Copies of this chain bind each other. A is one copy, B any other.
Amino acid sequence: MNKTGHISTSELAKRGGVNLQTIRYYERTGLLPKPPRSGSGYRQFSPESVRRVRFIKRAQELGFSLKEIKELLALRIAPGSTRAEVRKRAESKIQDIDGKVEHLRAMKKALVQLTDSCCGNGPASNCPILESLSLDKERK
């Protein structure tokens, strides 16, 4: 960050933990707002952009696509969207999250069982426990 309080593209990339080109890609696709430019055309990102980039990466690791992440980032009362409408979209995202947490919990339980009992002290076995991980409710 220089004395003007802005950071360069490569600095944002470094601090956000992504490739330089990825920053420009995010800008092109609207995930990052277009930053102001210096006289010679250099991008001037605000230091807060770092948090945004990290948020994007983290959300991706949680299985959200860039499109979904854009929706998440758009969740605010902008001109043209009512509070009720924003609330509805947010609640649907919350449900997505709850679903993910539930599946992760089931997965963890299976893994804990694997380490605890199956790999405890008993005799070696095949223990295909993950495949019995069935939240599936057999909808046919």
Which of A21-29, A37-45, A131-139 participates in binding chain B? Answer: A131-139
* B112 close to A108 (CB less than 8 A): no
* A130 close to B72 (CB less than 8 A): yes
A83 at the interface (CB under 8 A from B): yes
* B62 close to A90 (CB less than 8 A): no
Complex interface bits, A91-108 against B, C-beta within 8 A gives 1, otherwise 0: 101100110110111011
Copies in the complex: 2
Residues of the B chain whose Cβ atoms lie less than 8 Å from the Cβ of A103: 58, 61-62
Residues of the B chain whose Cβ atoms lie less than 8 Å from the Cβ of A3: none
User: A residues engaging B (CB < 8 A)?
Assistant: 15, 48, 50-52, 54-55, 58-64, 72-73, 75-78, 83-84, 86-87, 90-91, 93-94, 97-98, 100-101, 103-105, 107-108, 111-112, 114-115, 118-119, 124-136, 140
* Chain A contact surface mostly: helix
Q: A115-B87, A134-B51, A136-B51 are in contact. Are A104 and B108 (CB under 8 A)?
A: no
Residues of the B chain whose Cβ atoms lie less than 8 Å from the Cβ of A55: 130-131, 133
Rounded to whole angstroms, the CA-CA distance of A128 and B72 in the bound complex is 10
Q: Give A128's nearest chain B residue, CB to CB.
A: B76
* A97 close to B108 (CB less than 8 A): yes
